């Protein structure tokens, strides 16, 4: 018996060699590259595992990291997961992530919305500033104040 990270669904299970995943039925001993496993783990049922996968993707920066994180940002999830995904997208500082982060800053959990605002500030591009200006007139005072705070140094001459 050993621990496996399911290549089909990202679930972590204790099983014999040759066993199939109890969640999705895929064979657990199929080879899966670590960075691909991290992308799969973004959908792990345990929010702590999924959030940790997002942080590892930002730290390791494999070629598929931004795409996997953007796709995850577009799907619903636990607040801690979406916040970690936003944080990771901010750390990767890719201007192409602004659309997903702007959307996340407008809808969903407050924790994720604030993380999206921070990520937009970390990117800091012209498009990110446009999204931050939208967030600066958000109905939520928390989001509004955070966006204004983060805009100030970006707009300073
Ligand atoms: Zn599975």
Which domains does the chain possess?
A: 1-32 (no CATH), 33-155 (1.25.10.10)
pLDDT exceeds 80 at position 38: yes
Query: Where does residue 66 fall: left (phi above 0), alpha (psi -120 to 50 degrees), or beta otherwise?
Result: alpha
- Interval between CA 46 and ligand 1 midpoint (Å): 14
pLDDT at 111 over 70: yes
Q: Which residue intervals of 29-140 are DSSP H helices?
A: 34-41, 47-60, 65-73, 79-92, 98-106, 110-123, 126-135
Separation between Cα atoms, residue 131 and residue 121, nearest integer Å: 9
Quick one: which of 51, 143, 129 has its CA closest to 88? 51
Distance between Cα 91 and ligand 1 center (Å): 29
At residue 132, the pLDDT reads 98
Q: What is the mean pLDDT of residues 147-155?
A: 96
pLDDT on residue 136: 97
Q: How far is the CA of 70 from the centre of ligand 1 (A)?
A: 22
pTM listed for this prediction: 0.82
Inform me whether the pLDDT recorded for 31 exceeds 70. no
Q: What percentage of residues in the chain have a pLDDT greater than 90?
A: 75
Q: What gap in Å lies between CA 24 and CA 26, rounded to an integer?
A: 6
Tell me how far the alpha carbon of residue 5 lies from the centroid of ligand 1, in angstroms: 8
In this predicted model, what pLDDT tens digit does every residue of 112-140 receive, in sequence order?
999 999 999 999 999 999 999 999 999 99
Q: Give me the residues near ligand 1 (ion), CB cutoff below 5 Å.
A: 6, 8-9, 11, 21, 23-24
Structure tokens at 156: 């300073």
């Amino acid at each position: 018996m050993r621990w496996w990270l399911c290549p089909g669904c990202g679930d972590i299970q204790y099983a014999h060699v040759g066993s199939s995943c109890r969640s999705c039925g895929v064979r657990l001993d199929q080879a899966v590259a670590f960075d691909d496993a991290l992308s799969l783990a973004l959908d792990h049922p345990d929010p702590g595992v999924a959030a940790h996968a997002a942080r590892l993707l930002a730290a390791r920066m494999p070629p598929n990291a931004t795409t996997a994180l953007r796709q995850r940002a577009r799907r619903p999830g636990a607040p801690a997961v979406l916040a970690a995904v936003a944080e990771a997208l901010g750390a990767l500082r890719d201007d192409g992530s602004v659309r997903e982060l702007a959307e996340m800053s407008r809808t969903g959990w407050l924790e994720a919305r604030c993380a999206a605002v921070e990520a937009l500030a970390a990117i800091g591009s012209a498009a990110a500033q446009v999204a931050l200006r939208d967030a600066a007139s958000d109905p939520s005072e928390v989001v509004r104040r955070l966006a204004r705070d983060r805009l100030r140094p970006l707009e300073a001459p």
